[in-house]
Amino acid sequence: MRSMTGYGVGEAPLGDGRLTLEVRALNHRYVDVRVRLPVELSDYAFFTEQKARELLSRGRFDIGVRVDDAALPAPNLSIARARSIYLALQTLRDELAPGTDLPVSAVTAIPELIQAPSSMQSEQIQNALIAALKAAVVHLNQMREQEGAALGRELGRRLELARGLRERIREQAERLVPLHRSRLEERVERLLKDSNVAIDQGRLELELALLADRTDVTEELVRLDSHFDQIERLLASDELIGRRLDFLLQEVGREVNTVGAKSQDAELSHVVVEMKAEIERMREQVQNVE
């Protein structure tokens, strides 16, 4: 079990220096990879993103790369191309705004003037990016597993609380039929006290049977037990369980809502509200489970 959030950093030698890659993971429904590279490595953004998608699963991942000064050779400026561009800009200046200054920086801002690295340099850069990315993902997963273990313990504790509330619901539900019988009999006796009409025991039993059927939550409690057992098994597994946990907790919520709808007792309604609050806390935690 792993958390959706975490941080990892990896390094790899590049030239006479080093390349450092950082990965930050956040909660997300799908795989969303965002890459930030230095200007010198901007051509490798898509390559880095594709390699990251091969190593990462669901979540949003912000990847940042930095290189020290010795990692890459000094950029090669195309002098001839810069000269021709500057002369062309001078001609345009003389035509549109004669006499205005034309700084050299107008040429140096053009990225096409920087010559692309050779194929050997490209291979070295790709290998460094892959090595640093793999090391960063290892560290990221270690942190996510540590946080996931803490999340698992918290979810396990809340699952036990939910089981206890389920037992309280069962106990409250079992006392409802006798309680309703007593209340109904008292009401009927009060209504018939000053009359000569006798209580129709058959009709009374029928009304009690109908009431018991409307308030019976046995099926809901059985399904809750099944869902709780499945959640417990998932918490003990090493698989990606976030979406399945979220689905099961939705099902638990539906069952609890049904119990609440059938409830005609203040004490039982209070326990149902507690259960709903506990399930909602679990769902909030599960949003951060991979």
Q: Each residue of 72-87: pLDDT tens digit?
A: 666 666 777 788 888 8
Query: In terms of domains, do 172 and 90 share one?
Result: no
Is the residue at 56 inside a domain?
no
Query: In terms of domains, do 92 and 155 share one?
Result: no
Number of independent structural domains in the chain = 2
Burial of 122 (0-12, 13-18, 19+ CB in 10 A): middle
**Whether residue 203 has pLDDT greater than 80:** no
Query: In terms of domains, do 103 and 156 share one?
Result: no
Least confident piece of the model among 8-12, 67-71, 81-85: 67-71
pTM above 0.75, yes or no: no
| Domain range for 245 | 149-286
pLDDT at 70: 62
Sign of the C-alpha dihedral, residues 141, 287, 29, 61? negative
Is the residue at 13 inside a domain?
no
Query: In terms of domains, do 166 and 269 share one?
Result: yes
220-261: pLDDT as tens digits: 889 999 999 999 999 888 888 888 999 999 999 999 988 888
Is the residue at 274 inside a domain?
yes
DSSP code for 199: P
Dist. CA 82–CA 98, nearest whole Å: 21
Query: In terms of domains, do 158 and 213 share one?
Result: yes
Query: In terms of domains, do 177 and 242 share one?
Result: yes
CA angle 192, 198, 201 (to 5 degrees): 110
Whole-Å CA distances, 38 to 24, 28, 43, 55, 67:
17, 26, 10, 22, 8
Between strands 17-26 and 59-67, the pairing is antiparallel
Return the H-helix or E-strand segment holding 13: strand 6-14
Query: In terms of domains, do 227 and 273 share one?
Result: yes
Query: In terms of domains, do 155 and 260 share one?
Result: yes
pLDDT at 194: 63
pLDDT at 137: 95
Query: In terms of domains, do 98 and 166 share one?
Result: no
